[in-house]
Amino acid sequence: MVLDASPGGRPGPGDTTAARARRGLLVVGSFVVLLYLIELVNIALFHSLNRTFGLRPRSADGILDILTFPLLHANLTHLMSNTLPLIIFGFLVFLSGLRVFITALAASWLVSGIVVWFIGGSSVTVGASGLVFGLFSFLLVRGFVNRSWWQIVLSVVLFMAYGSILFGILPTVASFVSWQAHLGGAIGGVIAALLLSGRRGRPAAVGR
């Protein structure tokens, strides 16, 4: 497993794959638990949070909803459908480090919201599926960007197992499915892979 190296070129103390795996399970698991807690509150409030904090495309106050819409879901079934892929993809991304995970998650979150705000339908959009598509696309392309053979192998395995979900980025006749959120998340994941590749390639500054 390739790890992000410390400035000295070696992983820092305790920065092992096992340690990252434990932290990844804790961070990703805590995020998923947060989503379920929010959904329970939302259910108790008859999903009124969706009307207040769901993303309303092309509305001025809807810009702030970009920060909240992935935390909400239409119902418990909707959240459950996102849970397993979010845990799997989030965990695999976290194995490359907290900075990588935050970058991929933030890019997926923001670009997904921006795309929905610009070209989304007339209904309010909620759900973490944009994050799922973003983390998935990040895992698919980063190996080719980084020219890392083990990441390319992982990309192939993931594509064979979950590649069919990419049909979700195509316009659909089902009005309750936000293909715009899926597309934006996928674009965000690719952007994150490119950004992180650029940072890895920069030489370290040397003081005199």
The sign of the torsion formed by the CA atoms of 14, 18, 23, 24 equals positive
Given a contact cutoff of 8 angstroms between Cβ atoms, the answer to whether 82 and 129 are in contact is: yes
Domain ranges of the chain: 17-200
Marked catalytic residue, from 96, 129, 137, 178 = 129
- Buried (b) or exposed (e) across 152-181, using 16+ Cβ within 10 A? bebbeebeeebeeeeebbeeeeeeeebbbb
182 is catalytic: yes
CATH number of 17-200: 1.20.1540.10
Check residue 12 and give its pLDDT: 53
Given a contact cutoff of 8 angstroms between Cβ atoms, the answer to whether 192 and 108 are in contact is: yes
Given a contact cutoff of 8 angstroms between Cβ atoms, the answer to whether 111 and 40 are in contact is: no
Global pTM reads 0.86
Q: What is the mean pLDDT of each run of 10 residues along the chain (208 residues)?
A: 38 72 96 98 97 94 94 96 97 95 98 96 93 98 93 94 90 76 97 82 42
Given the structure tokens 């996102």, which residue do they identify? 82
